[in-house]
Amino acid sequence: MGLFDWFLGGGGNKIAISQIDPATANDRVRKKDLILVDVRTESEWQQGGVPKGAHTITLGDPRLVDTVYGLMKEDASKPVAVICRSGMRSGRAAKLLAAAGFTDVSNVRGGMMAWTSANLPVKQYRR
C-alpha cells in the first residue's frame, strides 16, 4: 500500500467525510462561508464549472494540499468542500485533506452532475 492509499483511508484507517448537497454548497460559496475546490481535469473544467468562488486544482496535482491550505489563508479549520464530476474523486480529495489536518471538509454529493441537475449556475472556464 502506497502513502497516497494510506492517506485515503487504506489499511483500516477510515476517514469519514461529511456530505454537502450542491444547493447548500452554492449558497455557502456565494456567502463566502465556504471554499469550494473543483478537482476535475482541465478538459472537464472546459465543459463548465461552478461559478464565483470555486478554485480549480486537479486531484492528481501534488500541490493539492498546499494549494488548498493557501486558499484558506493557512487556517486548516475553515470550511472547505470538494467537487468533481460525480463525487468519487472529490471524496478521495476530501479524505486526503482531512488526513492532512483540515478539520471542516465536505464532499459535494453527486458532484457537477448533481449540481447541473439542480439547475445551479455554471460558468465556462477560459484558458
Mean pLDDT of the chain: 86
> Structure pTM?
0.85
Domains of the chain: residue spans and CATH: 34-127 (3.40.250.10)
pLDDT in tens, 87-106: 999 999 999 999 999 999 99
- Helix/strand/coil for 71: helix
pLDDT at position 2: 38
Q: Are strands 105-108 and 54-56 parallel, antiparallel or unpaired?
A: unpaired
- Helix/strand/coil for 12: coil
For the beta sheet containing 18-20, the strands, ordered from the edge strand earlier in sequence to the opposite edge, are 18-20, 105-108, 80-83, 35-38, 54-56
At residue 16 the predicted structure's pLDDT band, cuts being 50, 70 and 90, is: confident
Question: Does residue 15 surpass a pLDDT of 50?
Answer: yes
- Residue range 11-20: average pLDDT? 76
pLDDT at position 49: 81
Question: Does residue 50 surpass a pLDDT of 50?
Answer: yes
pLDDT at position 41: 93
